[in-house]
């Protein structure tokens, strides 16, 4: 079993460190701290089979664990608090720790501290994070490097720290919630895919949400490297949302440039619309990166222009991460990696073609902008399934694309009345309830051979399902079942 070195930034090992949350991240964080020789107190307000299991495993390693409640005074006495991404800042243990002046760090900061020698390509943005992260990891491995995909994509960073050997490279997906408490990320390359309103159920405003995204630039230096979306003005200006920093010239001889010049370091851009460091040459049908064509568009098996953007972002990030990734041989391997990459599940995934109708599972489209790219990319007359738990954004911006590509919208689930209100004057729409079997049966009735049925709900799944994976799996099951 891997023993970990002490953390440079952790307090003396004689005092207890608290971990809040016993999901995947909290469990791995507790184990990593224990293996580094710290005393750990972990707790989770939820008592269920999953947290009980994690608790039993951690107790066997000597961790003190509470399930179903937090000992707030114990947390207030701890030397440091590690926060899992799912725990909101208003949760009682976080509030109590703040009052008591206990330092709070994210699971990402902790994992990064244990992975001091690993190089990180960090990826954030509203949409395309997981796809771009998976592409980045795949391209690094295509170069023969020991690279792991981690963070929001599935494997907690502290679980990576426990790997033997630790990887040389990481493709790290970061959600806004993960960035919230994260510092000392120090990525070799930071990528921002795009920005649009999302999570308005959790954030008071779009500005608050963008501010958390801007934290990817928090530790910017002159050696930083960034890959930004040239077609998205919010992305280009994102670093300027950080607070003004003190001029460091007295200490280092370097002047802190004005905000208008942030982010510091090398900025490379990708674009679907114009020539840039990486761009889509539509006339030639090619993806061009750092001055040379990399692959033809039709060699990429991914559907939709947004995935061309994801491929450009990932290729550019990998190529600027190290000069050895830009040699002719490296370019050949990266091109090979792009050719062999396949779409991830629940992201415009073809569920099947039944009776001439193509069923497409885009259950991961949980906001309006991701549904928009899906609808815009449809080439068949489409029955669109839209609905779930409302997240606060209006649906009206979907209307022009829906009019172009959709035969009918079925609004379903908790948000159905809002979807109907926003869109009924603008597009053909039927409102249904929360029985997914009935929704699918109605879609089947409406679809003619040559049509598509697209589940791209623009809402979260929690009104009717455990999560988006569950919703996508039910869609695929019901689509196939009706075909028998
Ligand atoms: P994330 O991890 O940011 O949610 P994913 O890669 O999982 O992103 O993709 C989620 C959905 O977002 C996809 O199903 C697709 O509809 C949409 N999407 C993917 N990439 C982009 C992009 N670059 N721009 C806009 N929408 C995208």
The band of 300, judged by pLDDT with boundaries at 50, 70 and 90, is very high
* Top-confidence residue, 390 or 200: 390
Q: How far is the CA of 415 from the centre of ligand 1 (A)?
A: 21
Among 136, 373, 461, which residue has the most ligand 1 atoms within 8 Å of its CB, making it the best to mutate?
373
Atom of ligand 1 nearest to the CA of 193: 23
Q: How far is the CA of 220 from the centre of ligand 1 (A)?
A: 26
Q: What is the DSSP letter of 460?
A: B
Q: Whose CA is nearest to atom 12 of ligand 1?
A: 370
Any long-range contacts for 232-239 (C-beta under 8 Å, 24+ apart)?
232/194, 232/195, 234/195, 234/196, 234/210, 235/125, 235/192, 235/193, 235/194, 235/195, 236/269, 238/192, 238/195, 238/210, 238/213, 238/214, 239/214, 239/263
Residues 203 and 301 placed together within one structural domain of the fold = yes
Closest CA to 39 of 61, 20, 55: 61
Domain range enclosing 44: 17-102
The DSSP element (H or E) to which 66 belongs, if any, is strand 64-67
Residues 394 and 271 placed together within one structural domain of the fold = no
Domain annotation covers residue 415:
yes
Residues 203 and 293 placed together within one structural domain of the fold = yes
Could you give the 3-state DSSP secondary structure of residue 164? coil
Domain annotation covers residue 380:
yes
Of the three residues 102, 132, 148, the one that is the final residue of a domain is: 102
Atom of ligand 1 nearest to the CA of 152: 2
Residues 319 and 170 placed together within one structural domain of the fold = yes
**Rounded average pLDDT over 309-322:** 98
Q: How far is the CA of 373 from the centre of ligand 1 (A)?
A: 9
Residues 363 and 465 placed together within one structural domain of the fold = yes
Residues 39 and 90 placed together within one structural domain of the fold = yes
Residue 99, class by beta-carbon neighbours within 10 Å (0-12 exposed, 13-18 middle, 19+ buried)? exposed
**Rounded average pLDDT over 368-372:** 95
**Domain with 432 in it: what CATH number?**
3.90.190.20
DSSP β-ladder status, 225-229 and 189-192:
parallel
**Rounded average pLDDT over 291-304:** 94
Among 131, 307, 391, which residue has the most ligand 1 atoms within 8 Å of its CB, making it the best to mutate?
131
The residue whose two tokens read 């840039």 is: 276
Domain annotation covers residue 386:
yes
The span from the CA of 287 to the CA of 433, in Å, is 44
The band of 184, judged by pLDDT with boundaries at 50, 70 and 90, is confident
Domain annotation covers residue 266:
yes
Residues 166 and 273 placed together within one structural domain of the fold = yes
The span from the CA of 351 to the CA of 354, in Å, is 10
Residues 211 and 121 placed together within one structural domain of the fold = yes
Q: Whose CA is nearest to atom 7 of ligand 1?
A: 130
Q: How far is the CA of 124 from the centre of ligand 1 (A)?
A: 11
User: Does residue 13 have a pLDDT over 80?
Assistant: no
Alpha helices in 321-435 (DSSP H): 328-340, 368-376, 399-405, 416-423
Residues 376 and 331 placed together within one structural domain of the fold = no
Domain annotation covers residue 6:
no
Atom of ligand 1 nearest to the CA of 346: 14
The residue whose two tokens read 């020539």 is: 275
Ligand 1 binding pocket (C-beta < 6 A) is: 127-131, 193-194, 306, 309-310, 347-348, 362, 364-365, 369-370, 373-374
Domain annotation covers residue 275:
yes
DSSP β-ladder status, 17-20 and 40-44:
parallel
**Domain with 312 in it: what CATH number?**
3.40.1190.10
Sheet holding 40-44, edge to edge: 64-67, 40-44, 17-20, 80-83, 103-106
Domain annotation covers residue 2:
no
Of the three residues 311, 340, 369, the one that is the final residue of a domain is: 340
Q: Whose CA is nearest to atom 13 of ligand 1?
A: 347
| C-beta of residue 85 within 8 angstroms of C-beta of residue 107 | yes
Q: What contacts 252, CB < 8 A, 6 or more positions away?
A: none
Of the three residues 340, 362, 386, the one that is the final residue of a domain is: 340
Atom of ligand 1 nearest to the CA of 127: 3
Among 127, 135, 235, which residue has the most ligand 1 atoms within 8 Å of its CB, making it the best to mutate?
127
Strand boundaries in 158-291, DSSP class E: 169-173, 189-192, 225-229, 266-271, 278-281, 286-289
**Domain with 38 in it: what CATH number?**
3.40.50.720
Q: Tens digits of per-residue pLDDT, 238-276?
A: 999 998 876 666 666 777 888 888 999 999 999 999 999
Residues 64 and 142 placed together within one structural domain of the fold = no
> Taking each helix axis from N to C terminus, what angle separates 129-142 and 328-340, rounded to the nearest 10 degrees?
130
Q: Tens digits of per-residue pLDDT, 198-211?
A: 888 888 899 999 99
Q: Tens digits of per-residue pLDDT, 276-293?
A: 999 999 999 999 999 999
Residues 151 and 224 placed together within one structural domain of the fold = yes
- pTM listed for this prediction: 0.88
Q: Which has the minimum average pLDDT: 55-69, 249-263, 351-365?
A: 249-263
Among 128, 349, 374, which residue has the most ligand 1 atoms within 8 Å of its CB, making it the best to mutate?
128
Per the structure, how many domains does the chain have?
3
Domain annotation covers residue 9:
no
Residues 79 and 113 placed together within one structural domain of the fold = no
The span from the CA of 198 to the CA of 175, in Å, is 11
Q: Whose CA is nearest to atom 16 of ligand 1?
A: 370
The band of 60, judged by pLDDT with boundaries at 50, 70 and 90, is very high
């Amino acid at each position: 079993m891997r023993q970990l070195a002490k953390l440079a930034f952790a307090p003396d090992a004689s005092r207890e460190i608290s971990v809040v949350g016993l999901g995947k991240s909290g469990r791995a964080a507790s184990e990593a701290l224990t293996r580094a020789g710290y005393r750990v107190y972990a707790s989770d307000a939820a008592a269920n089979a999953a947290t009980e299991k994690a608790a039993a495993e951690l107790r066997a390693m000597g961790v003190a664990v509470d399930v179903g409640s937090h000992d707030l005074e114990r947390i207030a006495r701890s030397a440091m608090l590690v926060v899992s991404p799912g725990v909101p800042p208003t949760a009682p243990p976080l509030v109590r720790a703040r009052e008591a002046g206990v330092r709070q760090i994210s699971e990402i900061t902790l994992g990064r501290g244990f992975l001091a020698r690993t190089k990180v390509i960090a990826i954030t943005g509203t949409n395309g994070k997981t796809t771009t992260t998976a592409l980045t990891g795949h391209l690094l491995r295509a170069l023969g490097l020991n690279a792991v995909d981690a963070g929001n994509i599935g494997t907690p960073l502290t679980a990576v720290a426990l790997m033997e050997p630790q990887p040389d490279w990481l493709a790290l997906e970061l959600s806004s919630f993960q960035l919230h408490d994260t510092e000392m990320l120090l990525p070799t390359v930071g990528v921002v895919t795009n920005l649009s309103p999302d999570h308005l159920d959790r954030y008071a405003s779009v500005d608050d949400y963008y501010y958390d995204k801007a934290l990817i630039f928090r530790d910017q230096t002159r050696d930083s490297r960034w890959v930004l979306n040239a077609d998205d003005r919010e992305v280009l200006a994102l670093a300027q949302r950080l607070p003004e920093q003190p001029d460091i010239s007295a200490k280092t001889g370097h002047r802190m440039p004005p905000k208008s010049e942030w982010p510091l370091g090398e900025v490379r851009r990708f674009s679907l619309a114009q020539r840039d460091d990486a761009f889509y040459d539509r006339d030639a049908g090619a993806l061009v990166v750092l001055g040379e064509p990399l692959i033809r568009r039709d060699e990429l098996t991914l559907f939709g222009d947004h995935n061309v953007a994801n491929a450009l972002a990932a290729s550019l990030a990998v190529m600027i991460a190290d000069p050895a990734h830009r040699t002719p041989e490296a370019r050949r391997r990266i091109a090979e990696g792009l050719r062999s990459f396949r779409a991830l599940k629940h992201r415009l995934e073809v569920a099947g073609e039944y009776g001439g109708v193509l069923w497409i599972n885009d259950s991961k489209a949980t906001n309006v902008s991701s549904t928009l790219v899906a609808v815009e990319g449809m080439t068949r007359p489409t029955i669109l399934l839209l609905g779930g738990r409302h997240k606060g954004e209006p649906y009206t911006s979907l209307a022009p694309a829906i009019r172009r590509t959709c035969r009918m919208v079925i609004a379903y689930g908790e948000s159905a009345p809002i979807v109907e209100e926003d869109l009924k004057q603008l597009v053909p729409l039927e409102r249904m309830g929360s029985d997914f079997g009935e929704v699918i049966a109605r879609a089947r009735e409406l679809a003619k051979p040559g049509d598509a049925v697209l589940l791209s709900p623009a809402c979260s799944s929690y009104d009717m399902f455990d999560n988006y994976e569950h919703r996508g799996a039910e869609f695929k099951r019901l689509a196939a079942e009706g075909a028998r």
